[in-house]
Amino acid sequence: MVISILTLFPQVFSQVVATSIIGRAKQKKLVNIRLINIRDFSKDKHRSVDDRPYGGGAGMLLRVDIVYKALEAARIKDLKREKVFLLDPAGNLLTQKKIREMSEFNHLILICGHYEGIDERICHFIDEKISIGEYILTGGEIPAMVITDAVVRLIPKVLEKPQSTIDESFTEDNQLEAPQYTRPVEFMGLKVPEILLSGNHAQINKWRSSEAKKRTGKSEKRGK
C-alpha cells in the first residue's frame, strides 16, 4: 500500500513513520509513506500557499490551485484503487469501519489543511472528507497520522499476530474488547479474575464474551 500525505509540515511526521510498528512496516516495504510538501508547488518567490478569504474573515486559506497541483503530482497512474481524502472537521466521522474500508485501497492520498482550511473548490477534486472528531485542530497533520497508524496495522503481515486485529474493539458488532490482565497476579490487593487463571478456555471465552457485552453496554450509556 502507498499512503501519500499532502502537508505544509512534512517534518512533523518523521518520528511517527519511523517508529515501532509503522517503522517496521516501512522497512519491510509493506507500506510506502510519501510526504509531499504542498509548498513545493507554489511558484512565487516567497513560496506562499495561502491568501485572504473573499468576503473577509479571520485567517488565511490554502489556495486551491496550489493544493490541486500537489494532488495531481501525488496521483500514481498505475495504481487502480486510489482514493483521495481531505481532512476536514466537517467530514464523515472516522470509525474503525471506515479504517477497514481505507485499508482495502492500494493508494490513499490524505490532504492536510492548515490555517483556516482550504478553498472550498478543492472538494471537486477529492473523493471524501474525513473528520476525526467534533473539535478543531490547527491542521490536518494529526488526523493524517491517526489514519496512517490505524490503517497500517491492518495491512496483512504488519502485525505479527493477525488475530490481534480480529479480537479487538469495534470489530465484531462494534463491540468493545473484554478487560485484559498480565503479571503480577495480585497488585495492591487487586486480583486477576480467577477464571483467567483456570486454564479452562471454554469458560474463559464465555467470561470474555460476557465482559465485552457489559463494557459495550456501559460505554453506549456514557455516550448518551
Ligand X SMILES: C[S@@+](CC[C@H](N)C(=O)[O-])C[C@H]1O[C@@H](n2cnc3c(N)ncnc32)[C@H](O)[C@@H]1O
Report which DSSP code applies to 53: P
Restricted to residues 69-88, the positions that interact with ligand X (CB under 6 A) are: 87-88
Establish if 113 lies at the interface with ligand X (CB under 6 A).
yes
Report which DSSP code applies to 177: P
Q: Cβ of residue 99: shortest distance to ligand X, in angstroms?
A: 14
Question: Who contacts 88 (Cβ-Cβ below 8 Å, separation ≥6)?
Answer: 113, 117, 129, 130, 131, 140
Establish if 176 lies at the interface with ligand X (CB under 6 A).
no
Restricted to residues 129-168, the positions that interact with ligand X (CB under 6 A) are: 131-133, 135-140, 143
Name the residue nearer to ligand X (CB basis): 37 or 171: 37
Q: Cβ of residue 57: shortest distance to ligand X, in angstroms?
A: 9
Dig out the grid coordinates for 98 from the structure: 471506515
Question: Who contacts 177 (Cβ-Cβ below 8 Å, separation ≥6)?
Answer: 167, 168, 169, 212, 215
Establish if 108 lies at the interface with ligand X (CB under 6 A).
no
Which of 76, 89, 99, 170 is in the footprint of ligand X by CB under 6 A?
89
Q: Is 136 annotated as a binding residue?
A: yes
Q: Is 120 annotated as a binding residue?
A: no
Give the span between the Cα atoms of 188 and 205, in whole angstroms: 27
Task: Name the segment binding ligand X (CB under 6 A); options: 30-38, 114-122, 153-161, 179-187.
Answer: 114-122
Classify residue 222 as left (phi > 0), alpha (psi -120 to 50) or beta. alpha
DSSP, residue by residue, 152-164: HTTSTTSSS-GGG
Give the span between the Cα atoms of 67 and 62, in whole angstroms: 7
Establish if 60 lies at the interface with ligand X (CB under 6 A).
no
Establish if 112 lies at the interface with ligand X (CB under 6 A).
yes
Q: Is 133 annotated as a binding residue?
A: yes
Q: Is 135 annotated as a binding residue?
A: yes
Total residues contacting ligand X by CB under 6 A comes to 20
Query: Residue written as cell 511526521?
Result: 13
Q: Is 134 annotated as a binding residue?
A: yes
CA distances, 47 to each of 12, 22, 111 (Å): 19, 31, 19
Cα–Cα–Cα angle for 216, 89, 111, rounded to 5 degrees: 110
By beta carbon distance, the residue nearest ligand X is 113
Which residues make up each annotated binding site?
A: 113, 132-137
Site residues for ligand X per CB under 6 A: 87-90, 112-114, 116-118, 131-133, 135-140, 143
Per the annotation, binding residues for S-adenosyl-L-methionine are: 113, 132-137
